[in-house]
Amino acid sequence: MTATWTPDGPNLVVEGDNLAVIRALPDESFRLIYIDPPFNTGRVQSRQQLTTVRNVEGTRQGFKGNNYDTIKGLLYSYDDAFADYWEFLEPRLEEAWRLLHDEGTLYLHLDFREVHYAKVVLDALFGRECFLNEIIWAYDYGARATKKWPAKHDTILVYVKNPQSYYFNNEEVDREPYMAPGLVTPEKVARGKLPTDVWWHTIVSPTGKEKTGYATQKPEGILRRVIQASSKRGDWVLDFFAGSGTTGSVAAQLDRRFLLVEQNPAAIEIMRARLRDDTTFS
């Protein structure tokens, strides 16, 4: 990488192979590491931006009989299929352990396909005593299965470097409404409750302001909880499967510093447009 990460340097986005990049970083440099690696679905993940424009000679007819053309934009995709998924992911998890500060925390975001294997690997790497939480992110959107229970959640495994000294401050976390407000005092209703290890949160809205068009983009609300609870203002946050840059966007909003690594050029271009001007790209 042409720009070298330093603790007193600027927010940094590095384009390249993440294993090579993180192997060059110094030990115990990050209070928080969040990674959302490919889920090994066995298929290409893609999302294409579409724009509809009015045209008297257009091929589609819409409201009040007006004609329109649909213009296809950029196609953002990556290959989410690995011959040996754990040969790919395990060395990166080893580096994550090395890079965590003694007070640091790793959040590993996966789905049902690989998360049970990940738990075994992380127990071996960190030690079972360093397992903090299994967070269930539940949502309700998309296709409906007819021959099984529809899969509508992801899993985030949370491990700490040192179970005696890790940083966690749930007082910083945005509170949420009580599901049964009539069972608690009006003061508690007004304050809201702390989230548990089950997070009910919508996906990125297809028509919302957050949407970048990048496949598998995660909502900022999920990253807000992670960053608020497990880092302090001014801390460095590392995400070496950066995708559309949600971790960096939220870290900047919360006065944290960030290092993002991504090898997909389309994702890099999204981050150039999304992240603030003081971010350095390398």
Q: Which of 191, 164, 167 is nearest to 177 (CA)?
A: 191
Confidence of residue 42 (pLDDT cuts 50, 70, 90): very low
Between helices 85-99 and 115-126, what is the axis angle to 10°?
A: 40
Task: Please give the Cα distance from 154 to 113 (Å, whole number).
Answer: 10
| 75 pLDDT tier (thresholds 50, 70, 90) | very low
Q: What is the pLDDT of residue 81?
A: 53
CA neighbor of 270 nearest in space, from 208, 214, 203, 210: 214
Residue 176, classified by CB atoms within 10 Å of its CB into exposed (0-12), middle (13-18) or buried (19+), is: middle
What are the chain's domains?
A: 12-42+83-281 (3.40.50.150), 45-80 (no CATH)
pLDDT higher than threshold 50 for residue 47:
no
- CB 160, CB 193: distance < 8 Å: no
Portion of the chain with pLDDT greater than 70, in percent: 81
